[in-house]
Amino acid sequence: MLANARHAKEEIQAMTITTSGGDRQRRTVLRAMMVVTALGGLLFAVLNLYRGLWPAAVVEFAFVAYSLILLPIIGRTPRFRAWAVAYVIPWTGAMLSILAMPGASPSVFVWPILLPLVLHFLLGSRLGLAVSLASFAGAALLAWYRFGMPAESSSFTGAANFSLAGMLGLALAHVYERGRERSERRLREMAATDTLTGLPNRNLLEETFERLRAAASHDGRALSILLMDLDHFKDINDAHGHAAGDRALVAFAHRLRSELRDEDFLCRFGGEEFLALLPGTTKEVARQVAERLRLAWREQPARWCEEAADSPHTVSVGIATVGGDGADLDTLLRSADQRLYRAKAEGRDRIVSD
């Protein structure tokens, strides 16, 4: 039971929402960064051509072209993080290469101070920290290579100010991004969790189904759905109150966790309906699992209400299996729901799989 609960939490934590507000904001920031880089790079390339700094101009022209090529891709790609890495790391390398050029002004060393903010926001706390530290180390080595150790106190003070400002910016960016990631992760967990039972809710269902279906197709295994509905649940609410009904739902969720495997996905589908995805389970085996659940629930004492301790409590189940009953989630849910309706119409406390 505890392992199943941990599995459900891992499912929720693994959930990624590609259209989340955070991703949209990152896309907007990266596209703005590309536009500014293209305009600024073009300006500096022309200036460096005028000054005779051909290597710097070539790097800047190349990155202007790279920015313009990637600009439309960033707006529509589902693999935003990969493309962000493909842009930001070369962008950082181009900046460091310009720092290394003998004709570059010492003032260009101010740019690495901004790197932690950009890198943490676009790459996340871990990769952002790693690339920021590598960039700072590279900038420090380049400064030492070009200018040597500062001999005068004023030069040493300037170098120390640059270094401390950069490290402070890095620390603030990292702490902020770690806190933001924790908050975002918690919000995702809350959005995908039924607060009453602690099970995932249906927000996580489609993504999990697609993953399990792909794995089943790859391995040549079956995948079945159990759609379960507590019988006479309205009577429990009407006779004993909504608090008793809530306790019944929690008890059934606990029973599901204890009866099913760690790899099975459970969710509260809505109201008194629950759903289970059973990977590697044929329709015949799914029916056996459903029968075990049905008997376990019927025999469980009704501890959610003393007055209802001896009253019957049963569950009806509709079953659908990938392949014979459909390939997509909507079709399978319709099949399972129709069979659940038949189980109700035929007297409840039963399983329909055909």
Hey, which bits of 127-264 come out as E strands?
A: 223-230
Q: Which domains does the chain have, with CATH numbers?
A: 9-191 (no CATH), 202-352 (3.30.70.270)
- Cβ atoms of 201 and 274 within 8 Å: the answer is no
d(CA 137, CA 118): 17
**Six-digit token string for 45:** 């390339």
- Cβ atoms of 319 and 286 within 8 Å: the answer is yes
Q: So what's the pLDDT on residue 282?
A: 96
- Cβ atoms of 304 and 244 within 8 Å: the answer is yes
pTM exceeding 0.75: no
- One-letter amino acid for residue 161 of the chain: N
Q: So what's the pLDDT on residue 15?
A: 47
Could you tell me whether strands 265-270 and 223-230 are parallel, antiparallel, or unpaired per DSSP bridges? unpaired
d(CA 219, CA 332): 20
Q: In whole angstroms, how far apart are CA 209 and each of 86, 190, 205, 333?
A: 31, 20, 6, 11
Q: The tokens 């920015």 sit on which residue?
A: 67
Each residue's pLDDT expressed in tens, for the chain with a length of 354 residues: 444 545 555 554 454 444 455 678 888 888 998 999 899 889 988 988 888 888 888 888 998 999 999 999 988 888 888 888 898 888 888 878 877 777 666 677 777 788 888 888 888 899 989 988 988 888 888 777 776 665 555 556 766 777 788 888 889 999 999 998 898 888 887 888 898 999 998 888 999 999 999 999 999 999 999 999 999 898 888 888 889 889 999 999 999 999 999 999 999 999 999 999 999 999 999 999 999 999 999 888 777 666 655 667 899 999 999 998 999 999 999 999 999 999 999 999 999 998
The angle at the Cα of 58, spanning 52 to 59, to the nearest 5 degrees, equals 120
Q: In whole angstroms, how far apart are CA 231 and each of 176, 248, 269, 339, 340?
A: 49, 11, 15, 15, 11
- The residue among 274, 167, 177, 271 whose CA lies nearest residue 225 is 274
